[in-house]
Amino acid sequence: MSVADSARASRLSPSVDWLESVDPATGTVVGRVEVTPVDQIPVRVAAAQRAARAWGAVAIAERVRILREAAPALAAAVETIGTLASREMGKPLPEGRGEAKHAASVFAADVESIGRSLAPTIVEDERTRSTMRFDPLGVAAVITPWNFPVSMPQESVLPALVAGNAVVLKPSEETPLTADAWAAPIIAALTAAGHPEVLQVVHGDERQGRALVRSEVQLVVFTGSRAAGADILEAAGPGLKRVILELGGKDPLIVLEDADLEAASTFATRNCFRNAGQVCVGTERIYVAKPVAARFTELLVEKARALKQGPCDEAGVQVGPMVHGRQKAMVLRQVEDAVKRGAALLLGGAGSAGDHGNYVPPTVLANLDHSMPIMREETFGPVACVMTVAGDDEAVECANDSPYGLGGAVFGSPDRAEAVAARLATAMVGINRSCGGAEGTPWVGARHSGYGYRGGVEGDRQFAQVRVISRSKPPTA
C-alpha cells in the first residue's frame, strides 16, 4: 500500500497500527506503513504455502523469465528507491541511489545465474547415473536489516524465489518504505504471471520477525545481529527448519610493516567510516606493525578529519548520522568506556563539533587492548580503533581473538600478506583491498558471524532441497 493510500486507509480505519519511518538526520517523518498484526502472520504464511505449490510447479526457466520481467520497472524506480533508502537510514544520497542502481543493474543477470546454479545436474559413475535436483523447500521467511536496505532483501529474496519457494519478506522496521518500493515491481511481475502471493511483504519489528520464524515456514533467511540470530536458531530448532544466518562482524585490518601506508590509510578511512560505520564488514579493529604505527595513524587521522558529515541530501557529505538514537548511545558508550580504560582519543568522540542529533563524528582511538569491550563487541559506528602490534604473529593472534569471523583485510607485500591472511579465522579476507571475492564466490561468515551463506553456486543451492534420483546404467559389453 502506498503512503498516500495508507493515509486514506488510516482515516477509514482508526484501529490500524502504523509504523512511521523517520529521517535520522532531521527527525522528519518520511512516510508510514501499516504494521502487520502478529496474528496475521500465520494467515499470510498460509497464503504463501498455497502460492508456493503453484510456483514450485513452474519450470525453473519459466520462473527465471517471469522474474526477469521485473527488471525494467526496477530500473525505472531507481531514483525513488535510492532516495527512500537515504532518507530512511541516513546514508548520503549518492550512496542510496548507487545501491538501488546496482541492485537494478544486476537483477536480471543474477536471476539467470541463480537459475543456472539450480538447474538439474547429472552425476555419473561406472554403474549409476544420478540426477541432482534442486527443488523448492516451500515458504521462505526472509528477515533483513536496515544498513543496506535494497541489496540485503534482493540478495536473499531472489535465490529463494528462483528456487521455487514463496517468500514472506519482513524488512527492518527502520526502512519499510524502501522495501515496499523495491518489492513492488517484483510483485507486479509475479501477479501478471498469475502468482500474486508468491512474494509478500509484512511490516513490524522483532515481534513480527519472531512470529514469522515460528510460523509454518520451511526456510529462514536472516541477516542481522548475532543476538537475533541466536534467538532464531533456537526457535527454528523444534521444527528443524533450515536456517541461513548472516550475522554481525568485528572485522580486523592488519597493516604489515611493508604496507603501502597511503593505500592502507585510505582503505581504513573508507572502511571505518562508510555508511557511518554501519557495515557488517566495516573495519572495526586495526592492528598495525610498530615501525609504521605512528605514520599510519597520522595519515588516518588526517583523512578522517577531512570527511564531511551531514544529512543525506547535503552536497559533498560522506558520513551520515547513526540510524537512530539507540545506536548513537551504544557507540558513544563504547568509546567513552575505552577512554576511561586508558585509550587515547585522537579524533571525534562525544562532545566534539559533530555531537548533535543522531551524529557520531568520525572518531579515531589508539592505545587500545583486548580487555576493552570496544575491541571485542560489534560497534557498528564511525570509529577507527588502532592497536600497535610487535609483528605478524601478534597481529594474527589479536585478529583471531574474537567470537566473530566475517571479513578482514591485510595490507602489505602481497605474498607476505596472503600468508598472514591464510592464518586468519575470518571467512573472507582481502589482500590490499576489501574482503568481497570474485563473482561466483559466496558471501560467507565463520564463527558467530553466521551459519549458511549466499551467492555463488554453493550459496544459491542452500535455498533449495537437493534431491538425488538415480538409475543403474546398463552393463557395458
Chain residues in the site for ligand NAD (CB under 6 A): 143-147, 152, 170, 172-173, 205-206, 209-210, 213, 223-225, 228, 231-232, 246-249, 280, 378, 380, 406, 443, 445, 449-450
Q: Which of the residues 272, 280, 312, 398 is marked catalytic? A: 280
Q: How large is the angle between the packed helices 206-214 and 226-236, nearest 10 degrees?
A: 30
Has 246 been annotated as catalytic? Answer: yes
Nearer of residues 249 and 456 to ligand NAD, judged by Cβ: 249
* CB of residue 235 to ligand NAD, shortest distance in Å: 7
Instruction: Give the chain as a 3 state SS string.
Output: CCHHHHHHHHHHCCCCCEEEEECCCCCCEEEEEECCCHHHHHHHHHHHHHHHHHHHHCCHHHHHHHHHCCHHHHHHCHHHHHHHHHHHHCCCHHHHHHHHHHHHHHHHHHHHHHHHHCCCEEEECCCEEEEEEEECCCEEEEECCCCCCCHHHHHHHHHHHHCCCEEEEECCCCCHHHHHHHHHHHHHHHHHCCCCCCEEECCCCHHHHHHHHHCCCCEEEEECCHHHHHHHHHHHCCCCCEEEEECCCCEEEEECCCCCHHHHHHHHHHHHHHHHHCCCCCEEEEEEEHHHHHHHHHHHHHHHHCCCECCCCCCCCCECCCCCHHHHHHHHHHHHHHHHCCCEEEECCCCCCCCCCCCCCCEEEECCCCCCHHHCCCCCCCEEEEEEECCHHHHHHHHHCCCEECCCEEECCHHHHHHHHHCCCCCCCEECCCCCCCCCCCECCEECCCCCCECHHHHHHCCCEEEEEEEECCCCC
* CB of residue 272 to ligand NAD, shortest distance in Å: 14
* CB of residue 168 to ligand NAD, shortest distance in Å: 12
Q: Which of the residues 246, 272, 378, 435 is marked catalytic? A: 246
Nearer of residues 327 and 388 to ligand NAD, judged by Cβ: 327
Nearer of residues 21 and 449 to ligand NAD, judged by Cβ: 449
Nearer of residues 40 and 225 to ligand NAD, judged by Cβ: 225
Nearer of residues 113 and 144 to ligand NAD, judged by Cβ: 144
Nearer of residues 388 and 449 to ligand NAD, judged by Cβ: 449
Has 280 been annotated as catalytic? Answer: yes
* CB of residue 271 to ligand NAD, shortest distance in Å: 14
* CB of residue 442 to ligand NAD, shortest distance in Å: 11
How far is it, in rounded angstroms, from Cα 269 to Cα 455?
Answer: 27
| Cβ-proximal residue to ligand NAD, closest one | 209
Nearer of residues 148 and 287 to ligand NAD, judged by Cβ: 148
* CB of residue 145 to ligand NAD, shortest distance in Å: 3
Nearest C-alpha neighbor of 247 from the set 462, 443, 406, 429 = 406
> Is the Cα torsion angle 449, 451, 456, 458 positive or negative in sign?
positive
Nearer of residues 171 and 412 to ligand NAD, judged by Cβ: 171
Which residues are part of the catalytic machinery? 246, 280
